[in-house]
Structure 1
Amino acid sequence: MPMPPTSPYVIALDPDERGALQALTRRPTSAYRLVLRARIVLAAADGATNTAIAARHGVHVDTVRKWRRRFWQRRLEGLADADRPGRPPVFTPVQQAQVKALACELPADHGVPLSRWSAAELAGEAVTAGIVAEISASTVARWLAADVIKPWQHRSWIFPRGPDFAAKAHRVLDLYARTWQGQALGADDFVISADEKTSIQARCRCHPTLPPGRSRLMRVEHEYDRGGALAYLAALDVHRGKVYGRCEPTTGLAPFARLVEQVMTREPYASARRVFWIVDNGSSHRGQASIDRMTAAWPTATVVHTPLHASWLNQVEIYFSIVQRKVVTPNDFYDLADVANRLEAFNDH
């Protein structure tokens, strides 16, 4: 004989409910928590006590009471997980937006003697400004990370000051697209991007550089002896991907003229119809005087200047960045001849 029920929630199943519960316990894809709840209800319907059910399935008796009550109240729907709204929000969306807006303002605008915000300082200023009563730096950092706002970082830039920036930039970009004054360049037209990389030092380390090893980075001695510096001049054929470079003791009109001669006296530039030289406004090739000098020496050459403070439009700077990262960093040379040999070998490479 079954034991008398000890719970006020007496379970009586109709055939459909029993069939659904049994199918749930036999289905291999059923979640274990649902199988356990179905078995508790089936055992309760068979007249087992809460204590006996708990002992049979290795759960606390309160767990049995919970699911017996939930099924009695809501039947099969009661076995599903209830909604869990979680902890109520402490801050409103408006407060979050106000903190993010604060992060996008300069500290000086709020009378704070800082150059940049940190998450901790933003949290303190949010309290001072009355946006929130209290807030942690980690909460502020989490909000900012959601919108990729990093007020503690900065980057340098130069605002274009030339009134003719758009026109000069347009000419340079047109040349990169093989267009000049609205006409497509011909097969015998070439575009050269040229500049100088100044003050490449020869630093002789006091102890030899150690190559990388197992679980060890390359080691470069901090102390060094100075062996002088030289300049590296380079001309990049934008569309052919050819680089022509030379090392000089310093920059100036004469070194740049030698670079131009090095390029213009070789084919295909010597017999080209036009060769466009894109240069910045450095002292070696500045203003109308540089245009006149180029035309007088090389009638087929045309100097095209980038806008003021816009040498980043000069594509040879991309090549110089590669030289800096792959050739001269870390700087470890015996003397200037070693620097020149490395640069010329990389130019060929």
Structure 2
Amino acid sequence: MRLKRMAYGHKTEHRLRVRAQVVLHAARGRSNASIARETGLHLDTVRRWRGRFAQASLPGLNDRRRCGRPVSFTPPQAAEVKALACRLPAETGVPVSRWSCPELAREAVRRGITTFMSASTVRRWLAQDAIKPWQHRSWIFITDPGFRLKAARVLDLYARTWQGEQLGDDEYVISADEKTSVQARCRCHPALAPGKARAMRVNHTYGRGGALAYLAAYDVHHARVFGHTGPGPASSRSCTWLPRS
């Protein structure tokens, strides 16, 4: 019963289904040559799977474990590359502001950690690590002497306060911005939907429909976005207060 389920099951892998069908044909008394013609397999392949099934039953139809490709890098080498990523490039004399995967690969070869290493190998090692101490966060030094006063106005509006007074129920704050010169393009030919063993196809030719300006406003207290598209340039303010009507 298990052999028939494997041979005709819809969820069975194709290779296991074919191997099970070979065994079922053999159980019906067919020769290896006739089984090979029926299944489209080589005669030696039919002999191999019949023999494997006779030796180990159903488990014999599975692929044997393989040793695989030998390991190219050792765990200490991976640890040395990760330790190098945690150091500042200036400490090693490399004239870059921060490490990139190609730079780390070249530095590992220069230091003799390995004779050859690709940037994709470094990228894979760093992505697999759970801690990732080499990630960085940027910040800026405030140089504007009036920054405190300007920031206080914006923060007060976020707190629904203007010039020391609370905003009313009919007043709200929006944060607005614009994106100008958005190219309006239309494809000259329709895209083809993905099919069996074929990705979706999009033609690269397009026609220009001019430029648009997209304006968006974010209601900071109700988490709503209002968008509008205009045909020409427009000006915007980072924060706007709507007075009482």
TM-score range, shorter chain: 0.5 to 0.7
Which gives a bigger RCO, structure 1 or 2 (Cα 8 Å, sep 6+)? Answer: 1
Q: Does 1:122 align with 2:40?
A: no
* Structure 1 length-normalised TM: 0.42
Cα distance in 1 for partners of 2:50, 2:155 equals 84
Deviation at 1:123, TM superposition (A): 0.5
Q: Does 1:141 align with 2:123?
A: yes
Match of residue 49 from structure 2: 67
Deviation at 1:104, TM superposition (A): 0.9
Match of residue 346 from structure 1: 240
Q: Which moved more, 1:133-142 or 1:47-56?
A: 47-56
Q: Does 1:42 align with 2:24?
A: yes
Conserved? CA contact 2:101–2:122, under 8 Å: yes
Match of residue 138 from structure 2: 155
SS in 1 for 2:240: helix
Q: Which of residues 243, 246, 253 in structure 1 aligns to 2:161?
A: 243
Describe how 1:1-349 pairs up with structure 2 within 5 A.
Answer: 20-22=2-4, 24-25=6-7, 27=9, 29-147=11-129, 149=132, 155-156=138-139, 195-197=148-150, 233=153, 236=156, 241-244=159-162, 262-263=163-164, 323=175, 326-327=176-177, 346-348=240-242
Match of residue 204 from structure 2: none
Q: 1:347 to 1:328 in 2, by over 3 A?
A: farther
Q: Deviations over 1:218-237 (max 9, x none)?
A: xxxxxxxxxxxxxx955717
SS in 2 for 1:105: coil
SS in 2 for 1:68: helix
Deviation at 1:40, TM superposition (A): 0.8
Q: 1:28 to 1:152 in 2, by over 3 A?
A: closer
Q: 1:25 to 1:233 in 2, by over 3 A?
A: closer
Conserved? CA contact 1:195–1:235, under 8 Å: no
Cα distance in 1 for partners of 2:66, 2:110 equals 35
Deviation at 1:69, TM superposition (A): 2.5
SS in 2 for 1:236: helix
Cα distance in 2 for partners of 1:110, 1:37 equals 58
Deviation at 1:101, TM superposition (A): 1.1
Deviation at 1:120, TM superposition (A): 1.1
Q: 1:83 to 1:267 in 2, by over 3 A?
A: closer
Conserved? CA contact 2:154–2:239, under 8 Å: no
Deviation at 1:124, TM superposition (A): 1.1
Q: 1:157 to 1:44 in 2, by over 3 A?
A: same
Conserved? CA contact 1:327–1:346, under 8 Å: no
Cα distance in 1 for partners of 2:15, 2:155 equals 72
Overall identity of the aligned pairs, in %: 41
Cα distance in 1 for partners of 2:102, 2:118 equals 7
Q: Structure 1 unaligned runs (5+)?
A: 1-18, 159-193, 199-231, 245-261, 269-318, 333-337
Q: Deviations over 1:148-185 (max 9, x none)?
A: 85969661356xxxxxxxxxxxxxxxxxxxxxxxxxxx
Q: 1:76 to 1:235 in 2, by over 3 A?
A: closer
Conserved? CA contact 2:177–2:238, under 8 Å: no
Q: Structure 2 unaligned runs (5+)?
A: 142-146, 168-172, 181-212, 214-233
Deviation at 1:77, TM superposition (A): 1.8
What is the identity, as a one-letter code, of the residue corresponding to 2:242?
A: D
* Structure 2 length-normalised TM: 0.57
What is the identity, as a one-letter code, of the residue corresponding to 1:25?
A: A
Match of residue 199 from structure 2: none
Conserved? CA contact 2:22–2:49, under 8 Å: yes
Q: Paired residues, what number?
A: 180
Cα distance in 2 for partners of 1:235, 1:151 equals 33
SS in 1 for 2:150: strand
